[in-house]
Structure 1
């Protein structure tokens, strides 16, 4: 067994849905590609032998008990060009927010220097918040979308990136849209080929993604052609589905069918498809998602602003739909998946308990809707990995060693709250960027906290 690096640390991960495993002094062996080859506990028969070998070969990276290693987080929904407007205009309706704030900003990404400045800062920020894998909407500009891919490749973040397609003149401004359905398809094909070429020399992986903004932004022919392109090349697909009352109504008025039904008819749903939001997904739509293997990117912060509803995570999970988490920058103001997993727990409790205190408790909410912190942890890690069809989110043989090093000394762990059960909960509820001391992607350190 060719082991190039050994990690000795206290680790925590969610091996099953709703369960958390905490291992003190775990010894992890990585191959040259940063893939886990073994994980040993101190009680395992070969533990001491392997530890001695690691020290002798001087290939051991050891973390003391003041550090806790968590899996890197997976953000399944980021609008990279919207980073400069994070926290702005969130009181506006979705339609106005797009027309008056978002589209004018995204149109600026024809400027290469502006694009590089924003994208460099965004990727640095996400890594500093423990996001090791990101699924990005770039802009409608092919060239600067490619620059985002190059930045992610250079900085070591695993990234899935799509050049946004939007060619419907009825729903997009004349200053910011694809020139035609044909040009949209050609530029998407070119973009995918360029990213695949870049990926040949990118260890952690850079992947092209077919990215119709959402049905309202695209013409019928474009949606059909993108679906065929995705199926021909087995590309990933991302878009929005049933995000709000407005979007849902628009699609039904245009086609007489739901968002999910139309996305399926255009060939845009499948095992490598990730649809954001989905709060208005009905029973028919949920069954389509389950049948096609389509995943949901749950964006609990942005949903509070633009979705007009709360995603019923527990219900959809029971129906067999895979769910990961997304920040939805900038509909969501925070770049932190920590903030989003906390919000996922909070909104699930609100959904179950209800909000109208004038109603009796039994009529106030939706029963069996809450999720636990452990389940939210799973969605932030394993759920994202399953959506992307990669072995991510766990410390387990054949999985990528994507990890974030949490400094427990920055958290209030005194007064008897220093046991395993307290520590992982405190880490998830209280960690912010200053508490993250280092981040690894596929065994390579890609972020070091200098504070």
Structure 2
């Protein structure tokens, strides 16, 4: 057998949108490379033989009755340098929040010693909260952005790290902007090629091309970044149609939508993450589906800053690729479990409406409710599918990225006589905090 170790216990995951699988005594075997050899049910012919083999080798972890095994979470949208500001100024309009907190803070990360104070805490915090795959915006500084990648490698987090590109001097602060479109493209390429020199990476961390959004990037820079995406086969992340202001900016300056501009620049592909994407046209949606791109839904930050609610129900029904993002610091919580609950709350507010002066029958958007299982699917399987990574579910050949959830001494109350398997999973999703997450694995390595 090519089996290195195994875990047996109560297993949950959501390989299919809106559904879940529960295995009461599931046995997951892991090979030398940290990949899943098999997911065995007690009824499988090889179950007992494999279980005994692992026990004899002293390579079996047996979960307790109060523990559960879940897949690691896939967070599609995190602003790494904004971690020190998480929770500040959330009552402000977006432009004031960015000018007062965000841009001055991100500029400080040009000092590597400053980055060294905060990036390790960020990465360890996200791992502790169950994010095994993280997609990070860093800053415009190449050196500290590479340090973030090194930090992810050091602590064992799977990650896509992006050096932010922003060169439009009319729209960026004069202290936080790249010299020119040419310089922006050159630095993006230098960042990408530097990954081959990162020690001990083992393909755990990769670069991702990261134009901040249309207002801060010239068309020349966007086109150059699109060329780099094709040249190096890199994933892409950016913001799209996040607010009325962002949507109107593109229309007024270019007479085009964000999606049309990104498409013309060559930035839409099968691993393109479009954060927010609230104000999309029917044509935009068709283009996203045609290109195989996807959307990172960030429900908490949308409530604070986006001016409107994402039509998530419609996007799910149209089979657009979807995942969740915590969006530190627009969303202040480094937890995708929280984001799952937020996504449901977001959809319920949209369904019910918010204007109490209107009659109930016209107050909300009918049939826009999203289930907790759908939200959890987005946080695991959906995110993995968007990134084209074998993560987010327990499946032969997939990476063993996993969490052990324990209900001891916490808000998580499991009632065996009252709770069905679905009830238990929904309770785990809604009540899990950092304290419940007792172990975290990435690629078969225990990192918490």
For this structure pair, what is the TM-score category when the shorter chain's length is used for normalisation? over 0.9
Give 1:310's aligned residue.
Answer: 309
Give 1:436's aligned residue.
Answer: 437
Displacement of 1:419 after TM fit? Answer: 4.1
Give 2:298's aligned residue.
Answer: 299
Give 1:233's aligned residue.
Answer: 232
The answer on whether the counterparts of 1:157 and 1:204 sit within 8 Å (CA) in structure 2 is no
The alignment partner of 2:356 has SS state of coil
Give 1:445's aligned residue.
Answer: 446
Give 1:110's aligned residue.
Answer: 110
Equivalence map 1:60-209=2 (5 Å)? 60-198=60-198, 201-203=200-202, 205-209=204-208
The answer on whether the counterparts of 1:196 and 1:206 sit within 8 Å (CA) in structure 2 is no
Equivalence map 1:366-377=2 (5 Å)? 366-377=365-376
The alignment partner of 1:110 has SS state of coil
Give 1:422's aligned residue.
Answer: 423
**TM-score of the superposed pair, with normalisation by structure 1:** 0.97
The alignment partner of 1:70 has SS state of strand
Displacement of 1:418 after TM fit? Answer: 4.8
The alignment partner of 2:24 has SS state of strand
The alignment partner of 1:225 has SS state of helix
The alignment partner of 1:19 has SS state of coil
CA RMSD of aligned residues (A): 1.2
The alignment partner of 2:109 has SS state of helix
Displacement of 1:201 after TM fit? Answer: 3.3
Displacement of 1:204 after TM fit? Answer: 5.9
The alignment partner of 1:289 has SS state of helix
Displacement of 1:233 after TM fit? Answer: 1.6
The answer on whether the counterparts of 1:204 and 1:441 sit within 8 Å (CA) in structure 2 is no
Q: Describe the superposition over 1:17-67 as per-residue Cα deviations: whole angstroms up to 9, x where unpaired.
A: 100111111111111111101111111111111111111122111111110
Displacement of 1:415 after TM fit? Answer: 7.4
d(CA) in 2 for partners of 1:419, 1:386: 28
The alignment partner of 1:134 has SS state of strand
Q: Does 1:10 align with 2:13?
A: no
The alignment partner of 2:447 has SS state of strand
Displacement of 1:236 after TM fit? Answer: 0.5
Equivalence map 1:339-378=2 (5 Å)? 339-378=338-377
Displacement of 1:361 after TM fit? Answer: 2.6
d(CA) in 2 for partners of 1:74, 1:344: 15
Q: Describe the superposition over 1:198-249 as per-residue Cα deviations: whole angstroms up to 9, x where unpaired.
A: 2x73246111011000010011110110011111221100000000011111
The answer on whether the counterparts of 1:132 and 1:441 sit within 8 Å (CA) in structure 2 is yes
d(CA) in 1 for partners of 2:242, 2:197: 34
d(CA) in 2 for partners of 1:7, 1:188: 41
Displacement of 1:279 after TM fit? Answer: 0.9
The alignment partner of 1:16 has SS state of coil
Q: Describe the superposition over 1:364-388 as per-residue Cα deviations: whole angstroms up to 9, x where unpaired.
A: 2212211101101100001110111
d(CA) in 2 for partners of 1:251, 1:203: 40
Q: Does 1:335 align with 2:334?
A: yes
d(CA) in 1 for partners of 2:434, 2:378: 20
d(CA) in 1 for partners of 2:210, 2:189: 11
d(CA) in 2 for partners of 1:192, 1:71: 29
d(CA) in 1 for partners of 2:247, 2:430: 34
The answer on whether the counterparts of 1:273 and 1:294 sit within 8 Å (CA) in structure 2 is yes
Q: Describe the superposition over 1:100-128 as per-residue Cα deviations: whole angstroms up to 9, x where unpaired.
A: 21111100001111101110000011011
The alignment partner of 2:239 has SS state of strand
d(CA) in 2 for partners of 1:331, 1:350: 19
The alignment partner of 1:401 has SS state of coil
d(CA) in 1 for partners of 2:103, 2:200: 33
Q: Which runs of 5+ in 2 are unaligned?
A: none
d(CA) in 2 for partners of 1:302, 1:87: 11
> Judging changes above 3 Å, is the alpha-carbon distance between structure 1 residues 378 and 223 closer, same or farther for their aligned structure 2 residues?
same
d(CA) in 2 for partners of 1:405, 1:82: 28
Give 2:390's aligned residue.
Answer: 391
Q: Describe the superposition over 1:343-382 as per-residue Cα deviations: whole angstroms up to 9, x where unpaired.
A: 0011111111212233233212212211101101100001
d(CA) in 2 for partners of 1:4, 1:184: 45
